[in-house]
Amino acid sequence: MNVTLIGAGNLATNLGKALLSTGFEINQVYSRTKKSAELLAGKLDCCFTNDIEEIKKDSDFYICSLKDTALEDVASNLSVNENAVVVHTAGSMPLDIIKTATTKHYGVLYPMQSFSKNKEVSFKEIPIFIEASDSKSMEIIKFVSSSISDKIIELSSEKRKYIHLSAVFVCNFVNYMYSIGADIVGLTNLDFNLLIPLIKETASKVEKMSPAESQTGPAVRYDENVINKHIELLKNKPEWAEIYRLLSDGIHNKAKLK
Amino acid sequence: MNVTLIGAGNLATNLGKALLSTGFEINQVYSRTKKSAELLAGKLDCCFTNDIEEIKKDSDFYICSLKDTALEDVASNLSVNENAVVVHTAGSMPLDIIKTATTKHYGVLYPMQSFSKNKEVSFKEIPIFIEASDSKSMEIIKFVSSSISDKIIELSSEKRKYIHLSAVFVCNFVNYMYSIGADIVGLTNLDFNLLIPLIKETASKVEKMSPAESQTGPAVRYDENVINKHIELLKNKPEWAEIYRLLSDGIHNKAKLK
């Protein structure tokens, strides 16, 4: 099967590599930025273009991994073979956004993971949420996604929005907490790596018990003495103090409900 | 060496087990609550009391793992042998809070980890931050802490406060993000375990790159389309919407500074 990647960002890079390694042929990479297209095409040993009209029509499968706002525009300009399947990979965009004029077959292939270009991930365990316009497309999307992952879940656009939202909390917001933690540790001239055992244990705990059960710290026992001291330490960082206050209140209110 | 545990909470439980397994003798457990004292004493094969005046004077090392606000009161009522060393385990409390009338030897032994009574942790990798009133106490505190961990760091009370604050962000607040994520996934009737690969990858990424480099998601690229949709999804949960907005602004502002 021939695959075209439309987009050359973190997700396209990781998907492209994973598909190539399981035997798919990458036909072409498109990106608005020539340099990005060329870079990824180099990694995947295929041709590239930055002109949407030069996207080749002879692929079986088109994966659009673009900024959400670019999807509609690309879909409406995309001209492909009538048997081709076109999918997008966005957590929060509806199925129909990727409908194109030239094929009736389209869908969604949303791998829930945090991708960086320079850190390879193993796709095997990553849940991929899929959706399709019709049964033939569904079959092909399943074939492609199950070649790289063991966890394929059919899910409506409506529910996928919530899954994406939860991913923002457990990944993007969590990483921001790491980032503030790193900045605070930096104030003492100690090394951020000292926090790694705590970070790993916190992540590992929720495999064994629910996050509500594993909650610890001053906020859950509402230790006002510690909370007030911490807020005092943040007096030169009012935005962190506000985060501290808001999250501590949330933790405390949740604990009270138990 | 004989150790007395003052307090029978999560940390006392984990410390007691770790010390017992490396050859220390646990002499006695004290807790205000008789049941907690008895339960932990049963696990550590020692006697217990819930009367502060019955704390035995013949231990070499007293570990006070109590709510911060209880430390001063217990320290002022504690009567021990003049050669004994008394330590507290609190991240945010100064060294002197644990000064007692009967011994000149006191200090701090703060293991930075999230402890639950029912999940055993390996102490080996956990950083323990220590501080002491005098060199003899420091020697003994080093001996005790290095018997259970390989990472012993001498640190002033002033700097320890910041380390504790950073731990609140990377552990307690992170766990609260997991908790909100779990509640949101619950709305779709999907299983929280689907988020585990994402949680693990997010934690593992910051071993390889800084949290600032590993930040992904709609906020870092300021994808207002997604951000607004997510806030709309949270319209019945205004407290989560406020957290979403505040953290997204923080991520975006930080990314702009890079």
Beta strands in chain B (DSSP E): 2-6, 25-30, 47-49, 61-64, 85-88, 105-111, 127-132, 151-154
- pLDDT on residue B205: 95
Per the CB < 8 Å rule, is B177 touching A179? no
- pLDDT on residue A64: 98
CB proximity under 8 Å: A 18-57 to B: none
- Chain A within 8 Å of B236 (Cβ-Cβ)? no
Angle CA A167–A170–A174, to nearest 5:
130
- Chain A within 8 Å of B70 (Cβ-Cβ)? no
Neighboring chain A residues of B178 at a CB cutoff of 8 Å: 169-170, 174, 206, 211
Is beta strand B127-132 parallel, antiparallel or unpaired with respect to B105-111? antiparallel
> Taking the CA of residue A101 as centre, how many other CA atoms within 13 Å lie in the half-sphere pointing to its CB?
6
Per-residue pLDDT tens, chain B, 258 aa: give them. Answer: 999 999 999 899 999 999 999 999 999 999 999 999 999 999 999 999 999 999 999 999 999 999 888 999 999 999 999 999 999 999 999 999 999 989 999 999 999 998 877 777 889 999 999 999 999 999 999 999 999 999 999 999 999 999 999 999 999 999 999 999 999 999 999 999 999 999 999 999 999 999 999 998 999 988 888 999 999 999 999 999 999 999 999 999 999 887
A99-103 contacts, C-beta under 8 A, 24 or more apart: A99/A75, A99/A133, A100/A75, A100/A76, A101/A76, A102/A78
- pLDDT on residue B96: 96
Per the CB < 8 Å rule, is B247 touching A166? no
Cα B210 from Cα A179, distance rounded (Å): 8
| Nearest CA distance, B39 vs chain A (angstrom) | 20
Cα B116 from Cα B114, distance rounded (Å): 7
**B23 by DSSP, 3-state: which?**
coil
| Nearest CA distance, B92 vs chain A (angstrom) | 7
> Any idea which residue has 């989560």 for tokens?
B240
Tokens of residue B151, six digits: 């990472």
Tokens of residue B3, six digits: 């150790």
Residue A4, beta-bridge partner list: A28, A62
**B153 by DSSP, 3-state: which?**
strand
- Chain B within 8 Å of A79 (Cβ-Cβ)? no
Cα B191 from Cα B175, distance rounded (Å): 17
Nearest-CB residue to B200 (from A203, A212, A230): A203
Cα B252 from Cα B218, distance rounded (Å): 9
C-beta separation of B79 from B21 below 8 A: no
C-beta separation of B205 from A169 below 8 A: no
| pTM to 2 decimal places | 0.92
**Rg of chain B (C-alpha set):** 22
Size of interface A-B (CB pairs under 8 A): 329
> Any idea which residue has 């704390």 for tokens?
B55
C-beta separation of B251 from B230 below 8 A: no
Which stretches in chain A have pLDDT values below 70?
none
- pLDDT on residue A12: 95
High-pLDDT (> 90) share of chain A, %: 89
Nearest-CB residue to B247 (from A125, A126, A176): A176
Per the CB < 8 Å rule, is B195 touching A170? yes
Q: Which of B24, B36, B190, B167 minimizes the C-alpha distance to B90?
A: B167
- pLDDT on residue B115: 84
Per the CB < 8 Å rule, is B206 touching A178? yes
- Chain B within 8 Å of A163 (Cβ-Cβ)? yes
- Chain B within 8 Å of A166 (Cβ-Cβ)? yes
Per the CB < 8 Å rule, is B175 touching A114? no
Per the CB < 8 Å rule, is A168 touching B230? yes
Neighboring chain B residues of A217 at a CB cutoff of 8 Å: 114, 168, 171-172, 175
Per the CB < 8 Å rule, is A177 touching B188? no
Type and span of the H or E element at A109 = strand A105-111
- pLDDT on residue A114: 87
Residue of B72, B89, B158, B172 to mutate, interface with A, max A Cβ within 10 Å: B172
C-beta separation of B107 from B84 below 8 A: no
Neighboring chain A residues of B208 at a CB cutoff of 8 Å: 119
In this structure, what is the dihedral angle of CA atoms A238, A243, A248, A253, given to the nearest 10 degrees? Answer: 120
C-beta separation of A124 from A105 below 8 A: no
- Chain B within 8 Å of A232 (Cβ-Cβ)? no
Q: Which of A92, A230, A84 minimizes the C-alpha distance to A156?
A: A92
- pLDDT on residue B225: 86
- Chain B within 8 Å of A181 (Cβ-Cβ)? yes
Dihedral class, residue B100 (left if φ above 0, else alpha if ψ from -120 to 50, else beta): beta
- pLDDT on residue A158: 95
Is beta strand B151-154 parallel, antiparallel or unpaired with respect to B127-132? parallel
- Chain A within 8 Å of B102 (Cβ-Cβ)? no
Tokens of residue B52, six digits: 């502060």
Is beta strand A152-154 parallel, antiparallel or unpaired with respect to A128-132? parallel
**Chain A nearest-CA residue for B163:** A185
| Nearest CA distance, B54 vs chain A (angstrom) | 27
**Chain B nearest-CA residue for A255:** B176
C-beta separation of A169 from B184 below 8 A: yes
Cα A123 from Cα A181, distance rounded (Å): 29
Nearest-CB residue to A195 (from B166, B219, B234): B166
